[in-house]
Each structure stands twice: as structure tokens, then as C-alpha cells.
A and B are shown apart, each in its own frame.
Chain A
Amino acid sequence: MRTPQERAARLLRWYPKAWRNRYGEEFAEFLIADIEERPQSAERALDVARAGLLARLAVAGLAGQHVAWQPDPGRRVQVSLGTLCGALTACLALAAALWSQLAIAWEWTLPTTATPPVMRATLVMSAAVLAFLVLIGLAIVPAGYAIARNCNVRMLGPLLVLAAAVSLLAFGGHHFLYQWPGSGGHSEGGTLFPVIPAGIQAFAWSLTYWFSVHWFWLTTGLGGWEVAWIVASPLALAAAVAAAATLVRRADLSPRLLAYETRLAAAACAVMGVFLGGCGYWVYVGRPPGLAHAGQLDIAAAILLALVLAAAYQAQRTALRGLQLVRG
């Protein structure tokens, strides 16, 4: 049987370190007194777990701008923006994976088997990805300038990781561009989707091959380098997401730039919402047979995308609320 002290210490683990630094001792004392009075209480355990998880969401910038243990509102906005950056980058990766499969499928679909609804969905998704890339460009330029101007030692780590991950993705994506059947945008049969250059489609396919590999190539046998790429590319992508989020959190961004980036992020969330709408339409209308139908993995990825987008939206709302506090 554990002592009240041990049980209080266990309950305290639900909370993040920043919270424990501020309230840990007094909360432990309170819990000990409460446990001595009511030794068994499922309600207490559930309440502490819920509050602890909420505190962790606040540390991640996804909730709670009214917290005494994170006193600087500007810093909290930046934390939210970092999470937002990571979530939107993850959204882009998932969107690229979904989009590239569909776009490549169009390259291999004969005009006679075309289904206009799926083509409409593809166009909506393509336009959304394009708009998203434009927004990323608009966000990166001023943020990159501010980071370059105020670069410090704490930012070197994430900068190096980001540079390495992006380099690996660019090099690998280009190297494996035409390595597999299905990539390469062969349009001899009369492409249905000539809007996007074949090379870009193939690059996106190559970058997200970890997503589509199970389709029909995994069982046919892959070379060592291909397998290494399939393992390394999602890891590099995850590292890039984490490094970008950390970089934004550690950068010294002015309130004006924070406001600008938050507004852009709101637009990016809306654009990704449009993509998700197009994706949902594709899942609904894209029935087999035919290459351009949505499989189980596509549906799972669309659900995951919706969840990550919800997290991004929540971080954006938290950042907006924080900005109101910064402005007093």
C-alpha cells in the first residue's frame, strides 16, 4: 500500500514541469491532506488527470492564456505559434501525401475513364496546396529575416536539424524521382491532369513514398536504398516539423511579426480546411475501380489530417487570444 506522499507524488506527474515548479509543493500538501481524509476517490484521480492534461496542453500552446505559471503573454503567443508551425507543417506533409497519389493516378488514368467529380476534387485540392505554399512563402520570408538577424546559440541546434532534414528530403526526393513505376508523370496515354507539371507530381510522390509504398510495391521487393529512403524520409519530415516548431518558439519575434504570422496561420488553417473538404469529397466520390479511388490508408490519413488541423486551429485561437493580452 502506497503512502499518501507517494500517491500525491504520482498524481503530481500528470502536470508539466513548469506547473509543478510553481504549484508543486503546495499542491502535493493539499493532495496529501485530501488523500488522508478520503483514501479512495476516483473523482479526485480523474479531476487531477484532466487538469494535468489541460496544463500540458497549455504548455504546448494549445490552451489557457490565463495562467499565472506562464506569466509572459508574448512568450505564450510564441509557444502557440511554434505549435501552430509544427502542426501546419505536418498538415502539409499529409496533404502532399494524399495529393501526390491522386495527381499521379490522374497521370495514369485514361481520358475515357475520367470521372469529373474526382477531377473537381483534385483541382480543389491542388489549388489549396498551391495557396498553402504561397502562404508558407509569405510567412517564411519575414520570420527567416528576423531569425537571421537575432540568431543565438539556442537556435543553432534546431537550425542545423532543419537544414539537415530539408537537405535530405530535397536530395532524396530528387534522387528517387523517377526510380519507381508510377512516378514520373508519363503522359503518353493522354494525361487528364496537365495543370501540374509532371516533375512536381513525381517529386511530391517521391517525398511521400513512405505513405503510398504499401499499395503494391512493398511485396514486390525493394532495394536497400529504397527501403532506407522509405524509413529515412518520414523521420526527416518529423525532424523538420519538430525543428521548425522549436525554432519559432526560440526566435525573438516582435509583437507585430507575431500578429502577422498568426493572421497568416489563420489563412493557412482555412486553406487546409478547403483541402480537407476536397479530400472528403474525393473519398466520397472516388470509388473503385480505377486508380483515383480513395483507399483505407487515404481515409485514415484524411482523418489524421483533420485531427492535426484541429490542433493547428486550436493553437491559432490560443495565439490570437494571447495577442489580445499582449496588446493590453
Chain B
Amino acid sequence: MPKRDGARPDADAGLAGFGRYAGPATLILSSLADGPKHGYALTKDVEEFAGVRLAPGTLYEALARLESQGMIEALEAEDRRRPYRLTAAGATALQAHLDAQRRATETGLRRLKANWGTV
């Protein structure tokens, strides 16, 4: 299928294989890009910048996946709360994912503007 308008739906290699966890993983990595956080601080931050509240089970499923893939790492626990930190591999994956998202967003906005006159 020819690619038009610079759309590259297959270019999202950053979080390939995350399936339904790609959404929570993006939010978690984006939050950790600002510095290490523990679970509860993470959900509050995500809620603030994305308006999405990550449920506890979903959050820890995504954390476990990200940790097993080396995209985040656990730090020493502080008073039973364990902070997580973004790794270099995680930053690279997030960058690739967000670049792909941006291309998709730009394509959508361009098409909307061309055909619907909005934006």
C-alpha cells in the first residue's frame, strides 16, 4: 500500500510488542522522563498531565513489563515505596514512540484541514 502524506503507521518500533500496554507504558515513561517516581506519585502525575487515572493493577502490569525490558529500573525503596527511574533504553523507546505518534497526529491534522477545513 503506498504511503501518502508522510504517514508511516509501521514506524512505531519504540514500544513494539507492548500491545494493549502501549498506552499505559507511554504515560509511565513520559512521567518518568521528568524524574524518578514511585507508583502513587506516578498515577497522580499521569492524571495531571494526561487526564487519565491508571488503575493499580494496570499500572503494575505495565511497570513489570517495562522493567523486564530494561526501559525503567527500580531504585532503593523509601519507606516501603519504591521509586522507578527511566533508563537510556526507555528514553530511546519513548522518543521513537512519540515521534511515530507525532507523525500520525500531524497527518490527521493535515487531512482534517485539507478536507474538512478545521484546525
Chain B interface residue count: which class? 20 to 34
Cα–Cα, bound, A50→B80 (Å): 24
B68 touches A68 (CB 8 A): yes
Chain B 59-87 interface 0/1 with A at a Cβ cutoff of 8 Å (1 = within): 11100110111000000010011100000
Nearest-neighbor residue (CB-CB) of B54 within chain A: A47
B80 touches A28 (CB 8 A): yes
A54 touches B61 (CB 8 A): yes
Q: Which of B56, B69, B80 contacts A47 (CB under 8 A)?
A: B56
Q: Which of B17, B60, B67, B77 contacts A51 (CB under 8 A)?
A: B60
B40 touches A30 (CB 8 A): yes
Q: Would you give 19 A-B contacts (Cβ < 8 Å), ordered by A?
A: A11-B56, A25-B82, A26-B38, A26-B81, A29-B80, A29-B81, A30-B38, A30-B39, A30-B56, A43-B55, A47-B55, A47-B57, A48-B55, A51-B60, A51-B61, A54-B61, A66-B65, A68-B65, A68-B67
Shortest beta-carbon distance, B10 to chain A, in Å? 21
Nearest-neighbor residue (CB-CB) of B55 within chain A: A47
Q: A: which residues have CB within 8 A of B? A: 11, 23, 25-31, 33-34, 43-44, 47-52, 54, 66-69, 71
B80 touches A66 (CB 8 A): no
Give how many A-B residue pairs fall within 8 Å (CB-CB). 67
Which B residues lie within 8 Å of A25 (CB)? 77, 80, 82
With contacts A33-B40, A67-B65 known, is A48 near B81, CB below 8 A? no
A31 touches B82 (CB 8 A): no
B61 touches A34 (CB 8 A): no
Shortest beta-carbon distance, A77 to chain B, in Å? 15
B92 interface hit (Cβ, 8 Å): no
Cα–Cα, bound, A189→B22 (Å): 66
Shortest beta-carbon distance, B43 to chain A, in Å? 8
With contacts A26-B38, A26-B81, A27-B39 known, is A34 near B68, CB below 8 A? no
Cα–Cα, bound, A30→B63 (Å): 13
A66 touches B68 (CB 8 A): yes
Which A residues lie within 8 Å of B38 (CB)? 26, 29-30
A23 touches B64 (CB 8 A): yes
Q: B: which residues have CB within 8 A of A? A: 17, 38-40, 43, 55-61, 64-65, 67-69, 77, 80-82
Which A residues lie within 8 Å of B56 (CB)? 11, 27, 30-31, 34, 44, 47-48, 51
Which B residues lie within 8 Å of A23 (CB)? 60, 64
Interface residues of A, dominant DSSP: helix
Which A residues lie within 8 Å of B82 (CB)? 25-26
Cα–Cα, bound, A29→B67 (Å): 19
Cα–Cα, bound, A52→B64 (Å): 13
Nearest-neighbor residue (CB-CB) of A35 within chain B: B56
Cα–Cα, bound, A50→B64 (Å): 15
Shortest beta-carbon distance, B119 to chain A, in Å? 34
Q: Which of B43, B60, B68, B69 contacts A27 (CB under 8 A)?
A: B60
Shortest beta-carbon distance, B81 to chain A, in Å? 5
Nearest-neighbor residue (CB-CB) of B39 within chain A: A30
The 3 A-B residue pairs with the shortest CB-CB distance in the complex, in nearest-first order: A51-B57, A47-B55, A68-B67
A44 touches B55 (CB 8 A): yes
A50 touches B57 (CB 8 A): yes
Shortest beta-carbon distance, A321 to chain B, in Å? 10
B64 touches A68 (CB 8 A): yes
Which A residues lie within 8 Å of B55 (CB)? 43-44, 47-48
Q: Which of B39, B57, B68 contacts A26 (CB under 8 A)?
A: B39
Cα–Cα, bound, A28→B17 (Å): 29
Which B residues lie within 8 Å of A50 (CB)? 57
Nearest-neighbor residue (CB-CB) of B72 within chain A: A68
Nearest-neighbor residue (CB-CB) of A43 within chain B: B55
Cα–Cα, bound, A47→B55 (Å): 7
